[in-house]
């Protein structure tokens, strides 16, 4: 599938959703979904919401890169003080973000962490293509 419209329609059908159901799940209009699938609109500003609603890899949906399923396999949240201990045990260089603490990231739900990972991956691809 070379086109965004084809991938979107394929993923929607794979999940057994109507355009109206996908619109509601992604907080977009049904008309927008229809326009994306017909190719009238070529790229969605709501690509991350669509990928999340369809539970697919945002890179696959937007560019046809990688597998359809998200590669993120979230780890279970740590119990007790394991989070603080693991954050101290890891060298600072292993955590890529200077303004986001490991603790605040780990406090998010696994679904939210998967969205962040997909977003960062899409940004990396986008910036490396410039």
Here the CATH number for the domain that contains residue 34 is 1.10.260.40
Tell whether 17 and 52 lie within a shared domain. yes
d(CA 77, CA 17): 31
27: closest CA among 6, 49, 54?
49
pLDDT for the residue 107: 84
Tell whether 59 and 87 lie within a shared domain. no
Tell whether 11 and 57 lie within a shared domain. yes
Residue 74 lies inside a defined structural domain of this protein: no
Residue 122 lies inside a defined structural domain of this protein: yes
**What domain range includes position 91?**
82-128
Q: What is the pLDDT of residues 14-53, one digit of tens each?
A: 999 999 999 999 999 999 999 999 988 876 678 889 999 9
């Amino acid at each position: 599938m070379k086109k965004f419209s084809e991938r979107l329609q394929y993923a929607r059908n794979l999940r057994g959703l109507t355009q109206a159901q996908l619109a509601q799940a992604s907080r977009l209009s049904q008309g927008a979904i229809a326009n994306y699938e017909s190719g009238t609109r070529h790229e969605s500003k709501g690509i991350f919401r669509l990928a999340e609603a369809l539970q697919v890899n945002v890179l696959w949906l937007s560019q046809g890169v990688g597998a359809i399923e998200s590669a993120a396999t979230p780890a279970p949240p740590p119990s007790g003080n394991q989070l603080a201990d693991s954050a101290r045990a890891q060298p600072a260089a292993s955590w890529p973000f200077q303004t986001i603490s490991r603790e605040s990231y780990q406090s998010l739900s696994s679904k939210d962490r998967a969205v962040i990972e997909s977003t960062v991956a899409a940004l990396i691809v986008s910036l490396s293509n410039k």
